[in-house]
């Protein structure tokens, strides 16, 4: 059975790419190891995604945005950065732009649910759920996959969209720069005593990094990054004690906190693939670039990358009649590397600076915070946060 494009992975990147390609008239085979009911109604996983205006526009083009309940979309009006006990705060907002907010916060599970609902509306997308890709092979003329159910499929292009720990990437012979940080991110919803003013707060403190993401009236997502062992101990607390502990860690800036959900624990690993393409194959989403969550760009870069790939594949089909033409893939790799590497490198540098608790590190980030308060720097960062709004 031949399909023009085979996509391994039905997470947000895989679904977005499948929809984008199907909109051009291509036929897609989408393979996912999770069962279909988990794709159609994904469980809450604690992750809240800070969507830029560009990503929201992309979700609208994919037919997914209108499938998210308005009450599950939360405005992000401002972003604030705090450094230890310093009274200085660095604030970013939309400035004089036409929009009054930097973007919107939406739960990862709501985005996945909406993308899946949009994908199944396309007759050109065939989903095979509950199976994994066991073997892959590519040549100058075709890409072939062997599935765990014994089936084999051949296409003109294979796309790996199966997470930053991608097994397909390895099977294609592509290595990646993997950086296991020895820290974990805990995320969970809390009720606040004081209002958050629709502002996200990032607080680099000694021995921990904290964030508060505004969700609704006196509700927020609390994010705590700690060394792995400390994170596990914190996550194991009962809800009452955990709420008190978060209240203490956030120095009562938002008053008393009360847990609304359990804390979900995510060990932190960043990744950057040494190549994004090989013969008849490409990497998308986290399989290509796995960002540190501190600047909230991972999802947005992934969506932008799938739009880039879909656009180039469509153009390649018009010019060459071939979704996996080598010229198309080289253009994708060049464009995606140019778009991702500066942000990936800058984010890692920020993380290194703001999590260095040694005296020189504390001094450097204090000086950096003062410099960033200058108007040109603040405008540049606000533009980066909004990404083309």
Domain span at residue 110 reads 2-178+269-386
pTM of the model: 0.90
Could you give the number of structural domains in the chain?
A: 1
Q: Look up residue 311 and give its two tokens.
A: 């656009």
Q: Which residues are paired to 214 by β-bridges?
A: 220
Q: Look up residue 231 and give its two tokens.
A: 């994170």
Q: Look up residue 45 and give its two tokens.
A: 């996983």
Is residue 223 assigned to a domain? no
Is residue 8 assigned to a domain? yes
92: left (phi over 0), alpha (psi -120 to 50) or beta: beta
Is residue 104 assigned to a domain? yes
Say what the alpha-carbon torsion angle 34, 270, 59, 98 is, to the nearest 10 degrees: 160
Is residue 311 assigned to a domain? yes
Is residue 196 assigned to a domain? no
Is residue 258 assigned to a domain? no
Q: Which residues are paired to 283 by β-bridges?
A: 160
Is residue 187 assigned to a domain? no
Q: What is the CATH number of the domain that holds 329?
A: 3.50.50.60
Is residue 185 assigned to a domain? no
Q: What gap in Å lies between CA 313 and CA 26, rounded to an integer?
A: 10
Walk along the chain (389 residues) and give the pLDDT tens digit of each residue. 456 999 999 999 999 999 999 999 999 999 999 999 999 999 999 999 999 999 999 999 999 999 999 999 999 999 988 877 766 667 777 655 555 789 999 999 999 999 999 999 999 999 999 999 999 999 999 999 999 999 999 999 999 999 999 999 999 999 999 999 999 999 999 999 999 999 999 988 888 999 999 998 899 999 999 999 999 999 999 999 999 999 999 999 999 999 999 999 999 999 999 999 999 999 999 999 999 998 788 999 999 999 999 999 999 999 999 999 999 999 999 999 999 999 999 888 877 766 655 555 455 545 455 544 444 434 444 444 444 43
């Amino acid at each position: 059975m031949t399909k023009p494009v085979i996509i391994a992975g039905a997470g947000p990147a895989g679904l977005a790419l499948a929809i984008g390609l199907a909109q051009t008239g291509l036929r897609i085979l989408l393979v996912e190891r999770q069962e279909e009911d988990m794709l159609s109604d994904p469980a809450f996983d604690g992750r809240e995604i800070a969507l830029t205006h560009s990503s929201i526009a992309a979700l609208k083009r994919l037919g997914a945005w209108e499938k998210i309940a308005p009450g599950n979309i939360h405005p992000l009006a401002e972003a604030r950065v705090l450094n230890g006990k310093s009274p200085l705060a660095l604030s970013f907002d939309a400035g004089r732009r036409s929009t009054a907010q930097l973007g919107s916060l939406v739960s990862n599970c709501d985005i996945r649910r909406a993308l899946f609902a949009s994908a199944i509306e396309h007759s050109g997308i065939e989903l095979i759920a509950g199976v994994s890709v066991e073997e892959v092979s590519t040549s100058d003329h075709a890409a072939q996959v062997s599935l765990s159910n014994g089936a084999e499929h051949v296409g003109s292009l294979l796309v790996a969209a199966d997470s930053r720990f991608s097994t397909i990437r390895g099977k294609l012979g592509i290595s990646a720069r993997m950086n296991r940080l020895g820290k974990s991110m805990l995320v969970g919803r809390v009720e606040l005593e004081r209002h958050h003013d629709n502002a996200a707060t990032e607080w680099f403190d000694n021995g921990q990094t904290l964030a508060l993401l505004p969700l609704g009236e006196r509700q927020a997502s609390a994010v705590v990054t700690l060394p792995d062992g400390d994170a596990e101990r914190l996550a194991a607390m009962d809800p009452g004690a955990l709420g008190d502990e978060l209240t203490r860690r956030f120095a009562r800036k938002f008053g008393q906190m009360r847990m609304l959900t359990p804390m979900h624990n995510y060990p932190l690993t960043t990744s950057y693939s040494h190549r994004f393409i090989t013969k008849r194959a490409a990497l998308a989403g986290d399989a290509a670039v796995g960002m540190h969550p501190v600047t909230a760009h991972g999802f947005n870069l992934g969506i932008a990358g799938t739009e880039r790939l879909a656009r180039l594949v469509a153009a390649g089909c018009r010019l060459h009649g071939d979704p996996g033409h080598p010229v198309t893939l080289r253009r994708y790799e060049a464009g995606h590397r140019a778009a991702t590497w500066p942000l990936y490198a800058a984010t890692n540098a920020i993380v290194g600076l703001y999590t260095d608790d040694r005296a020189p590190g504390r001094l450097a980030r204090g000086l950096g915070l003062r410099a960033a308060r200058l108007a040109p720097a603040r405008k540049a960062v606000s533009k980066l946060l909004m990404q083309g709004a």
